[in-house]
Amino acid sequence: MTGVGDVSRATAADLVLLVPELILVGMALAFILVARRIQRTPLAHIALGGTILAALAAALAATWVVPLESAGDGATGFGGMITMDGYARFFEVLIAASLALAALLSVRSLDGERIPRAEYHALLLLASTGMMLAVSSLDLLTLYLGVELMTLCSIVLVGIRIERPAANEAAIKYFLIASFASALLLFGISLTYGVTGATDIAAIASALRGTESNPLLLVAMGLLAAGLAFKIAAVPFHAWAPDAYQGASAPVAAFLAAGSKAAGLAALGRVCLVAFGSEARTLKVILAVLAALSIIVGSIIAISQTDMKRLLAYSSIAHAGYALLGLIAGTPEGASATMTYACFYVFMTLGAFGVVIALGERGESLDGFRGLAAQRPGTAAVMLLFLLALTGIPPTAGFVAKFGVILSVVRADHVALAVLAVICSVVSAFVYMRIAVFMYMKEPEAPAPSRFPVTVSAALAVTALVTLVGGILPSSLVPWAVSP
């Protein structure tokens, strides 16, 4: 608990590091206090506008508030608990982007169901705050707080459609498993503190350097990895994801799949690479097992899914596995590969969810995609792009992401793992291309979908653009993906 005493003397320089989080919290509080009164009025869309504004402001703040040159080791605050290094910056922008896109995608579900608009957006903002806090913490306790804030808000978001039993059931399942995961995480933190006498990530690293390996430390690392693996839904800690995604409204599922996975990966990356950098040999095994299981289970179980949200849930499990591949090597290049993967994955999965959302009820089941290409060729083409990206076919961003993580695995001499990963990508190709078969090669059964809300179209355009441009010019991202 180094530096706890300093927190009371938080200065303006410390607060600057939290500007993105403060913007989001401020907006969330404003919604709860003010917007609650106007949500039955034509001004209801103010919540959407406010959320997007806050997301943009947070992204800008994350990029420009702290000048880059001081963002090295110097830019820490709150007694070394919070940082604004390149790693945090990257993920904060990514989280802000997924927040804005999720808000854009939520319009239809908010219009169609009786969901309190102000609270919904406030919860989205607070969940994002938690994610940002988690990615910028240099201390296991603040990391824990961030992750828990994210999870609690997500649970409420999953169950926010109170009239639907499925949503309630999903929220309760998610809550039970998430509390279990929190306990594991906290237990891991306490054991780590027991072994090293610190919760500060840098202090843990220096305490572990040069010491004999300790069985207690092994347990601590296992518990920490398990707790964070829950957050990214890696097998065998994935069981909540399909139920939660299916019970939640599609935009909430999209937000969970994108934002919370990115935040979980970021937290896992920092813990593995910095705190336990000296235990790379043990961590490698843990991460390799998590990754391999996630890829295999996610790809194979997705085959039999006919509910789109469940299908995308299993797809997100498999992708968690692919993203973990980059961390196995334990090198900065590997971490960059995982960051690139997380970034592109966020956009392509939000895009795929976006099409599901755009189609409304029809998009929730695989059968709804029958004959889409004949009715809406543009939408089908965009969906095909996301599916190709999720499969990892060039020239989409998915290929670049996959190339990067597999390259880092091969560099770490785990060729068998690389072969396993690509073979499973053929299995998942079957899953994704089955949707393409339904879109292009079957006759339509449902009437053509009505026009999409302009916000949904905007979100689809942004995600499609990133998915395509990221595949053609991946180097535009590289300077940003700096490992912790």
Q: Does 415 bind another protein (CB under 8 A)?
A: yes
CB of 326 to another protein, least distance (A): 13
Q: Do 101 and 48 form a contact (C-beta atoms < 8 A)?
A: no
Q: Does 41 bind another protein (CB under 8 A)?
A: no
- Per CB under 8 A, the list member of 109, 425, 455, 463 interacting with another protein is 425
Cα dihedral 25, 26, 32, 38 in deg (nearest 10)? -140
Binding residues with another protein: total (CB under 8 A) = 36
Q: Does 475 bind another protein (CB under 8 A)?
A: yes
| C-beta of 363 vs 392, nearer to another protein | 392
* CA distance linking residue 343 with residue 389, whole number of Å: 13
- Per CB under 8 A, the list member of 43, 441, 461, 465 interacting with another protein is 441
Q: Do 136 and 92 form a contact (C-beta atoms < 8 A)?
A: yes
CB of 426 to another protein, least distance (A): 5
Max Cα-Cα span within the chain: 67
Peptide bond into 236 cis (omega under 30): yes
Q: Does 162 bind another protein (CB under 8 A)?
A: no
Q: Three-state SS for 76?
A: strand
Q: Does 407 bind another protein (CB under 8 A)?
A: yes
Q: Does 454 bind another protein (CB under 8 A)?
A: no
Q: Does 465 bind another protein (CB under 8 A)?
A: no
Peptide bond into 395 cis (omega under 30): yes
Q: Do 345 and 319 form a contact (C-beta atoms < 8 A)?
A: yes
* CA distance linking residue 347 with residue 340, whole number of Å: 11
Q: Does 423 bind another protein (CB under 8 A)?
A: yes
Q: Tell me the sheet residues that pair with 137.
A: 82
Q: Three-state SS for 77?
A: strand
- Per CB under 8 A, the list member of 422, 448, 454, 465 interacting with another protein is 422
| C-beta of 145 vs 410, nearer to another protein | 410
| C-beta of 111 vs 413, nearer to another protein | 413
Q: Does 393 bind another protein (CB under 8 A)?
A: yes
| C-beta of 88 vs 406, nearer to another protein | 406
Q: Three-state SS for 82?
A: strand
- Per CB under 8 A, the list member of 256, 339, 388, 456 interacting with another protein is 388
CB of 474 to another protein, least distance (A): 6
Paired tokens of 281: 């040999």
CB of 309 to another protein, least distance (A): 24
Q: Does 300 bind another protein (CB under 8 A)?
A: no
Q: Does 410 bind another protein (CB under 8 A)?
A: yes
Q: Does 469 bind another protein (CB under 8 A)?
A: no
Q: Does 403 bind another protein (CB under 8 A)?
A: yes
Paired tokens of 437: 């078969």
Q: Do 283 and 244 form a contact (C-beta atoms < 8 A)?
A: no
Q: Does 436 bind another protein (CB under 8 A)?
A: yes
Which residue reads 């940082």 in tokens?
Answer: 83
DSSP letters spanning 220-279: HHHHHHHHHHHHHT-TTS-THHHHHHHHS-HHHHHHIIIIIHHHHHHHHHHIIIIITGGG
Q: Residue 312: what are its φ and ψ, rounded to 5°?
A: -70, -25
What count of other Cβ atoms lies within 10 Å of the Cβ of residue 462?
Answer: 18
| C-beta of 218 vs 420, nearer to another protein | 420
CB of 442 to another protein, least distance (A): 8
Q: Give CA separation, 420 vs 223, 288, 417, 456, 470, in Å.
A: 26, 11, 5, 36, 25
What count of other Cβ atoms lies within 10 Å of the Cβ of residue 166?
Answer: 13
Q: Does 419 bind another protein (CB under 8 A)?
A: yes
* CA distance linking residue 72 with residue 70, whole number of Å: 6
CB of 422 to another protein, least distance (A): 4
The contact mask relative to another protein for 356-385 (x = CB under 8 A, - = no) is -----------------xx--x---x--x-
Q: Does 411 bind another protein (CB under 8 A)?
A: yes
Q: Does 443 bind another protein (CB under 8 A)?
A: no
Q: Do 77 and 142 form a contact (C-beta atoms < 8 A)?
A: no
Binding piece for another protein, criterion CB under 8 A, among 158-166, 317-325, 451-459, 474-482: 474-482
CB of 419 to another protein, least distance (A): 6
Q: Three-state SS for 374?
A: helix
CB of 90 to another protein, least distance (A): 15
Q: Does 467 bind another protein (CB under 8 A)?
A: no
- Per CB under 8 A, the list member of 26, 80, 332, 394 interacting with another protein is 394
Question: Within 13 Å of residue 62, how many CA atoms lie on the same side as its CB?
Answer: 31
The contact set with another protein (CB under 8 A) reads 336, 373-374, 377, 381, 384, 388, 393-395, 399-400, 403-404, 406-407, 410-411, 415, 418-419, 422-423, 425-426, 429-430, 433-434, 436-437, 440-441, 474-475, 478
